[in-house]
Every structure is written in C-alpha cells, then in structure tokens.
Amino acid sequence: MTKPDEVITMYESTYSQKQHPISDDSETTSTSSSEETETLEKDTEVPSEDIEFNPFIDELIIRLMTAKPIRDPLMPARVKRDDLPIMVCGDLHGQFRDLRTIFYACGPPQTQTYLFLGDYVDRGVQGLETISLVLCLKIKYPTQVYMLRGNHEDGNTSMSYGFYDECVNRFNAYKEGDRLWRKFIDVFNMLPLAALINNAIFCVHGGLSPFFGAFDDIDKIKRPSIIPPFGLMCDLVWSDPDDKHDGWSMSQRGISFTFSENVVKDFCRRNNIDLVVRAHQLTGEMVKYGHKFFAGGRLLTIFSAPNYLNTRNDGCVLRVSKKVKVISDYTLTYKQFSVTLELI
C-alpha cells in the first residue's frame, strides 16, 4: 500500500499540472523529492482561469490522507513568536483557484506559515480540492500550516450546503461518495477550535462565547466531537459581533449568540489579549477590501473567498509580523484580491 506521505507528494506534484499557463511541463513524470517540492512551488504561481478537477483524488488518496490526522490528533494551535510572520486566511468555501492565488501572492507553505480559520468546504465547486490540498500541506508541513474548524466542518452543515453532494456526485456512487465524505467528517471532528498567536492574538472561526472562562476551557473540549447546537464549542464556530445590541443577544442565524463591543473589550482585558481575529461573516462593509474592524480595533473579521456567491467582494488575507507598532508588538498588513483575483 502506498504510504500517506507518498500519496501527499503525488497530490502535490499533480494538483495543477494543467492549470498554470507558465508551466512548460505538460506530461506526468516521476520526480525526486526535491523536484516534487519545486513542483509545488511552481503550482503556487498564477492560476489559470479554467477550473479543472483533479483526477487523482480517488478513494485511496482520501482514505490515506484522512487517516493520518486521526492517528496523530491535530493539537490546539498555539503559534509562537518564532513562527511569525504568519498569514491568516478566512473562509475559502471550495474556491480552490483562490487558495492557489493566495499561495502565489503570499508565498508557499514551505517558506511561509499559514493559519486557516475554517470553512474550507461548501458552496464553492471545488471543496474536495481545497480541503485535500490544505490537509496535505498540514501533514507535510505540520509546523508551517495550522488548521482551525469552521461551522461548515460539520456533518449536518456540510450535508446541507454542498460538500456531501460534491463527494457523492464526484465519485458517481452513493455508497462510495458517502463513505469518503464520512472520512472527511472524522477529520473535521478532530480539528482545533481556536489558536493563540504569541499569547496575544486570539484566532477563531466564529467568535466569543458567554460560556468561555479561560483558554483551558477550549483545551478541555474532547475530540473527536460533533458541533453541538448550544454551548462553548457551538459559539466558537457560529457567533457574530453585533453593533446594534449591548451584551449578548440571540443570533438571527437561529443558532448561537451575537456579542457587542463591550463584550470584546472585556474579553481582551480579562485574558490579556490584544486582538481577536475571526472569519465566518461577509457584511456589506467588507465587500471592498474583505475585512472589517470592530470594538475600536480589538476585533478583526477577514474573508478570503473573493466574489463569494457572486457578491463581487474582495478577499483578504491577514499578515501578522514581528515588527513593532499598530497593535501592541505587531504590525498587521493586508493582501486584498480583487474580484478578478489580481493582487492590488
């Protein structure tokens, strides 16, 4: 049987062979380890306009790729200062070409650390490619790639919003597609829910929770676990900031809560946090530039999927560096992508 690392290497070396117009290699050939790394670096160059599904995503690859994170559970993500700078990415939602554009603009994971805030699948047409590539990179570069869980990394949600149907339709068989989808769900149930960058920047997919007391509360959440309809775990992937109400309010999503500026400021003060970074939400104010500050700059929402559902929004990736100023000891810079995916 092919080893997981060999499958990952094969995936890296083939995932966009026919998609980059600047590549001269049109044939699939056997390569050495160093050549395979160079191939991945080439694959982060400007993607073509065409969407092509990867024929190498088959049952064997998915089975081996999803087995390793289960055997070696993904631990809570704690990013130290030595790991900076780090690129923080918001929702991707199956927009595989945009993920590759991010690597082209910001650097490949061999040389650049990445933190993904979740929502890799659903709604976009290439959720399989998107989650497969991020998982492969996480396995091959475990200290360079950090993955968090979003509300769409869930059995019920991904069954309703596209990823389940994508798996079934891609493999032309209900039983096989259903079985492979369940393997991804097993991995989703192991993903960390939050990350701390140098103990000062709290990163999460959704937001804050009234059930949060200390960071140890998050570490104590048992995994694997499905996302419940209520409680701390639910809020971390579902809650939203709200400037219309004070304190905590019931969310119009029909699940979890919304929280006000005072809640954010109190959270930062009690936990000695400089900034909360989250994804999960695309508001009208974010259509241009793909991000929005809240609570006097204490909370930042980013969204990394441009032209999401044809809203013509920009995508944004956050870069947290070691340089001084702006927010405490960090410099925050942004890389926005226009709806045509050209770096501005």
Q: Which residues are catalytic?
A: 152
DSSP state string for 125-172: S-HHHHHHHHHHHHHHSTTTEEE---TTSSHHHHHHSSHHHHHHHHTT
CB atoms within 10 A of CB 144: 17
303 vs 290: CA distance, rounded Å? 5
Report the candidate in 95, 136, 134, 97 with the shortest Cα–Cα distance to residue 115.
134
DSSP 73: P
Furthest C-alpha separation in the chain: 60
Residues 317/103, Cβ–Cβ less than 8 Å? no
End-to-end CA distance of the chain: 46
DSSP state string for 282-311: --GGGTTTSEEEETTTTEEEE---TTGGG-
Q: What length is written for the chain? A: 344
* Helix, strand, or coil (residue 198): coil
186 vs 69: CA distance, rounded Å? 9
As a 3-state breakdown, the chain gives helix, strand, coil percent values, each rounded to 5, of: 35, 15, 50
74 vs 71: CA distance, rounded Å? 9
